[in-house]
Amino acid sequence: MTIQPDDDRAANVLLVEDSDTQALRIRRMLQGHGFTVERVASGEAALDTLDTRIPDLVIADYHLPGMNGGQLARQLRMNAVTRTIPVLILTEGIEPGLEREGLESGADAYVPKSSDSALIVFRIRALLREYAGNVQARPGRVFRRARILVVTQRHDAATTIGAEVPALIDLLQRDGHIVTICDDPAHFDRRTLLDPERAPDCVVVDLMPGKFDGVEFCRRLDELRQEVLMRGGVPLRILAISPPCPDEREFSARVFETGVDDLVPDDVAPSVLALRIRVLVRRKLLQDDVRRIEVERQNREIAIKSARAEAAAIASKASLAEALEQANRELADANRKLIETQGKLVQTAKMASLGELVAGIAHEINNPLAFILAHKDTVARGLDRVMGLENASTDAEREGRAAILRKCRDRVASMNLGLRRIQNLVLNLRKFSRLDEGLFQVIDVPEALETVLALLTQKLGNGIVVHRDYAAPERLYCQAALLNQVIMNIISNAADAILEAAGRDNPLTDTPAQGRIDIRTELRHDAERGAVDYVFTISDTGPGVAPEVQERIFEPFFTTKPVGAGTGLGLAIAYGVVQAHHGTLMVANRPEGGALFTISVPWHAQDSEDGQERQP
């Protein structure tokens, strides 16, 4: 008769059988019905396998070396993880009281090995259906054997404990416990008691006087387990064995004051002593399970909270990313509008500067144009008179005709001089307002500075003296705007400051000079940066720049001029041009009075020689 498995997954069966022949027969029978079988030869080995794998069902022979099948079932029922594993006990035959003992130990079924294999399989499947889903594999260590430490220095037959130590150890080991004997607690490392992986679950202390004081040792153990309790661990259990004494009641009270959990006389039977130890160990292991389950619960709660927090963080990040994207779009739009506005403001400042230039240029053109027109009329009248003397016959007439021609020639020469002045002014204006000023190119610095000064002639007039000191090389690789706008704005402001301090409105007079502007160029070596800078310094003899004004002088729209006299953009634009050259623009006051502007831009000899036009 063949019985097929109830589901697609093969049940994992742990077979505990010391007989190789019986184990082979049972394994073949179970595998023939679709079970996966793992076999061990003892109950102790079965407990050790539970650390790595939890079976669906345990089949154990009752008669095993060391721990028997009933004791194995009892150990499984003491652990929260393994207590729901179904246990089937096999035996050779029907022995009186054996089935009852096995079932009372915690087994779920009791079947003789001689039973029909189909009956055994039916019982197995019934147990698997009953416990279906109760057993789950858990990571880490889920089952461990109890650790018991026996502290005694008696190994003779004078007392029960001395004579029955081997029997006691055998009983404890049959329960699946790991037993250690210690005859001198001084050799016991206190760190072992504080280590959850090595600390004993129960310490049995023999209080018989000898090499050590058992009562004091119990007190020390209680202090150590209080420390374990403070660390959140489960403290060990202490069982003391009392020797015969005259005042047993007083001695028992003193022992219990040390913190022991149980006290037994030394003439107790080994089986009773093992039972008392079993009770203490069971309570300790159950507390361990409760603590482990609580830790797992807390870990699950932490994991759930972490998952929720992570989900919230992801949602928040997504929201922030969307908000950031929107902010970036708005910022890009604002930046575009700002660039457009800045361009308009720059154009406004240029137009303001152009208006100021136009006033001076108009004056420079009107002067020569006025005497050109006057001389034209003189020449025209002279030519008319000459034409009337075309047929002169007398010497006087011929002499008058020659005088008129000489006068016309002189007037034409003066007109030519005026026209040349207008031509030079237009040429300088074309140099100043060239359309390629945004490109970096090699500039003749002295020529460019003289062009700027020529355009400012009307503002400088005769009242301001300009002193030049061009110590730096003539050629500089830069934008034309560096000289056309920056230098011109600074010189124009210096002239305004000098004239304002002198109370002058019209500089075109023959009065003595009222101020001075010094223009200097030089190369400066910066040892810290290992670079060379091309430096312009422009100073004047005006009133200087107040400290509070120096902090704001490069701000857009800030001006100290009267309303309508300035836009407040000249120095702001100059500052931006210098920054485009990766240079610096600073303002200070001279010790002797007056403002001092310093313009510093990087200088490279090779760039200043090749003359190629390119962006930086």
Q: pLDDT digit string (tens) for 213-231?
A: 888 888 888 888 888 888 8
Lowest-confidence pick of 125-134, 247-256, 357-366: 357-366
CATH architecture observed for domain 147-268: 3-Layer(aba) Sandwich (3.40)
Token digits for 90? 């096999």
DSSP 3-state helix, strand, coil percentages of the chain (rounded to 5)?
A: 50, 15, 30
Q: How many whole angstroms separate alpha carbon 540 and alpha carbon 221?
A: 93
Asked whether the predicted pLDDT for residue 560 surpasses 70, the reply is no
For residue 39, give the H/E element and its range. strand 36-40
What percentage of the chain exceeds 90 in pLDDT? 10
Contacts within 8 Å (CB) and 24+ apart, 22-30: 22/61, 22/113, 26/59, 26/90, 29/117, 29/120, 29/121, 30/59, 30/121, 30/124
Mean pLDDT, range 15-34, rounded to an integer:
91
Q: pLDDT digit string (tens) for 446-499?
A: 988 888 888 787 778 778 899 999 999 999 988 876 677 788 888 888 888 888
Q: pLDDT digit string (tens) for 150-184?
A: 888 765 544 445 556 778 888 888 877 888 888 87
CA dihedral 502, 506, 508, 513 (to 10 degrees): 0
Tell how many helices (H) and how many strands (E) occur in the chain: 19, 17
Reference 73, options 53, 96, 94, 43; nearest CA is 43
Mean pLDDT, range 318-345, rounded to an integer:
85
Higher pLDDT, 132 or 484: 484
4: confidence class by pLDDT, cuts 50, 70, 90 = very low
Token digits for 120? 């055994």
341: confidence class by pLDDT, cuts 50, 70, 90 = confident
Contact of 63 with 19, CB cutoff 8 Å: no
Hey, where are the domains in the chain? 12-131, 147-268, 329-429, 441-504+512-603
Sign of CA dihedral 556, 561, 567, 572: negative
Mean pLDDT, range 555-563, rounded to an integer:
62
Mean pLDDT, range 433-448, rounded to an integer:
72
The number of CA neighbours under 13 Å toward the Cβ of 454 is 19
Q: Note the pLDDT of residue 330.
A: 92
- Tell me which CATH homologous superfamily contains domain 441-504+512-603: Histidine kinase-like ATPase, C-terminal domain (3.30.565.10)
Asked whether the predicted pLDDT for residue 436 surpasses 90, the reply is no
Measured between alpha carbons, how far is residue 105 from residues 83, 98, 100, 109, 279 in Å? 12, 11, 9, 11, 14
Contacts of 308 (CB under 8 A, 6+ apart): none
Contacts of 513 (CB under 8 A, 6+ apart): 462, 463, 464, 465
Asked whether the predicted pLDDT for residue 573 surpasses 80, the reply is no
Lowest-confidence pick of 102-106, 322-326, 502-506: 502-506
Q: How many whole angstroms separate alpha carbon 89 and alpha carbon 72?
A: 10
592: confidence class by pLDDT, cuts 50, 70, 90 = confident
Asked whether the predicted pLDDT for residue 408 surpasses 90, the reply is no
Q: Note the pLDDT of residue 569.
A: 62
Q: pLDDT digit string (tens) for 349-390?
A: 656 655 655 655 665 677 677 767 777 777 777 777 777 776
Q: What would the CATH number be for the domain defined by 12-131?
A: 3.40.50.2300
Asked whether the predicted pLDDT for residue 544 surpasses 50, the reply is yes
What percentage of the chain exceeds 70 in pLDDT? 79
Q: Note the pLDDT of residue 139.
A: 43
Lowest-confidence pick of 16-30, 95-109, 485-499: 95-109
Mean pLDDT, range 380-405, rounded to an integer:
75
Same fold, 12-131 and 441-504+512-603: no
Q: Note the pLDDT of residue 430.
A: 60
Higher pLDDT, 212 or 237: 237
Mean pLDDT, range 328-343, rounded to an integer:
84
Asked whether the predicted pLDDT for residue 239 surpasses 80, the reply is yes
Q: Note the pLDDT of residue 9.
A: 61
Mean pLDDT, range 5-20, rounded to an integer:
77
613: confidence class by pLDDT, cuts 50, 70, 90 = very low
Measured between alpha carbons, how far is residue 270 from residues 148, 207, 267, 276 in Å? 15, 17, 9, 10
Asked whether the predicted pLDDT for residue 304 surpasses 50, the reply is yes
Mean pLDDT, the chain, whole residue set = 79
Q: Note the pLDDT of residue 83.
A: 80
Higher pLDDT, 461 or 61: 61
